[in-house]
């Protein structure tokens, strides 16, 4: 059974009196340990799809089955539990808590999972070391470069050992050299830990690291194919 399955997902927003549909029936299924890039111009619906996949948003109609569970039936706090246990997030703007050390930022998902402090520290430290930040544990976001901040964010995304890591334009605020470093980290996480990665981007260079590329246009999927030439470095 697929880890992630969307069936005929539609999403509309009300703009004043009118209902505007921006997803016109998205269906996609992702297996465990896949590395999928979702591409498309802005307004193509890729980010909205990502939000639905991330249980941050609910579709207007359609079925979403995550890890064998039908998400349609779940409400606020149940979705919070799913986000906490099943999904790790990496955002374009890093979204780290300001005036809070790297390690405390990484601990956050574990805090809400109810893990005791000592264990939390250890796991957070491990994740930061994995991201090559062993000498930045107690730095605050303002003391870190963009690439370092994004690595803290990735550490936060993987610290809960969730089966899925979702990244929405993770390299959008980074230069190309740093982008490559970050993408290599994603690749490594996917290959070594078997974590499923769903990536939203509009840059072909970034998408090139994924094993599978899905194209979006005007709220529909236009192509969905295996990437024959996965970028190595």
Contact (Cβ atoms closer than 8 angstroms) between residue 170 and residue 199: yes
Q: Which of 7, 85, 184, 211 is close enough to bind another protein by CB under 8 A? A: 85
Contact (Cβ atoms closer than 8 angstroms) between residue 66 and residue 18: no
Q: Which of 5, 26, 36, 54 is close enough to bind another protein by CB under 8 A? A: 54
Q: What 3-state class would DSSP assign to 99?
A: coil
Q: Name the one range near another protein by CB under 8 A: 26-34, 105-113, 121-129, 194-202.
A: 105-113
Interaction of residue 20 with another protein, rule CB under 8 A: no
Rg (CA), the chain: 17
Q: Which of 89, 186, 209, 216 is close enough to bind another protein by CB under 8 A? A: 89
Interaction of residue 56 with another protein, rule CB under 8 A: yes
Interaction of residue 113 with another protein, rule CB under 8 A: yes
Contact (Cβ atoms closer than 8 angstroms) between residue 13 and residue 144: no
Contact (Cβ atoms closer than 8 angstroms) between residue 198 and residue 53: yes
Q: Which residue lies nearer to another protein by CB, 77 or 192? A: 77
Letters for 155-184 (x = contact with another protein by CB under 8 A, - = none) are -x---x------------------------
Interaction of residue 45 with another protein, rule CB under 8 A: no
Q: What's the CA gap between 82 and 78, in Å, rounded? A: 6
Interaction of residue 152 with another protein, rule CB under 8 A: no
DSSP 8-state code for residue 210: S
Q: What 3-state class would DSSP assign to 154?
A: helix
Number of helices (H), then strands (E), belonging to the chain: the values are: 7, 10
Interaction of residue 96 with another protein, rule CB under 8 A: yes
Within positions 64 to 83, which residues make up the interface with another protein, using CB under 8 A? 76-77, 80-81, 83
Shortest CA distance to 215 belongs to which of 232, 230, 200, 195? 200
Q: Name the one range near another protein by CB under 8 A: 5-13, 21-29, 88-96, 182-190.
A: 88-96
- List interacting residues with another protein (CB under 8 A): 51, 54, 56-57, 76-77, 80-81, 83-85, 89, 91, 95-100, 108-109, 111-114, 117, 156, 160
């Amino acid at each position: 059974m697929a880890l992630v399955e969307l069936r005929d997902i539609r999403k509309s927003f009300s703009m004043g009196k009118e209902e505007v549909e921006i997803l016109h029936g998205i269906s996609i299924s992702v297996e465990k340990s896949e590395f999928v890039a979702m591409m498309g111009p802005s307004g193509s619906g890729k980010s909205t799809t990502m939000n639905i996949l991330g249980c941050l948003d609910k579709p207007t109609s359609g079925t979403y089955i995550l890890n064998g569970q039908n998400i349609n039936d779940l409400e606020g706090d149940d979705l919070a539990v799913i986000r906490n246990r099943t999904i790790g997030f990496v955002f374009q703007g890093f979204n780290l808590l300001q005036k809070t050390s790297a390690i405390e930022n990484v601990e956050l998902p574990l805090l809400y999972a109810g893990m005791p402090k000592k264990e939390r520290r250890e796991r957070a430290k491990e994740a930061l070391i994995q991201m090559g930040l062993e000498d930045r544990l107690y730095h605050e976001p303002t003391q870190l470069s963009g690439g370092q901040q994004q690595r803290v964010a990735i550490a936060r995304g993987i610290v809960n050992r969730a089966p899925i890591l979702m990244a929405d334009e993770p390299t959008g605020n980074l230069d190309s050299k740093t982008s490559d470093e970050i993408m290599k980290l994603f690749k490594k996480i996917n290959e070594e830990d078997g974590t499923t990665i769903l990536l939203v981007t509009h840059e072909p260079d970034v998408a090139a690291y994924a094993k599978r590329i899905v194209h979006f246009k005007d709220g529909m999927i236009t192509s969905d194919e295996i990437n024959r030439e996965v970028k190595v470095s």
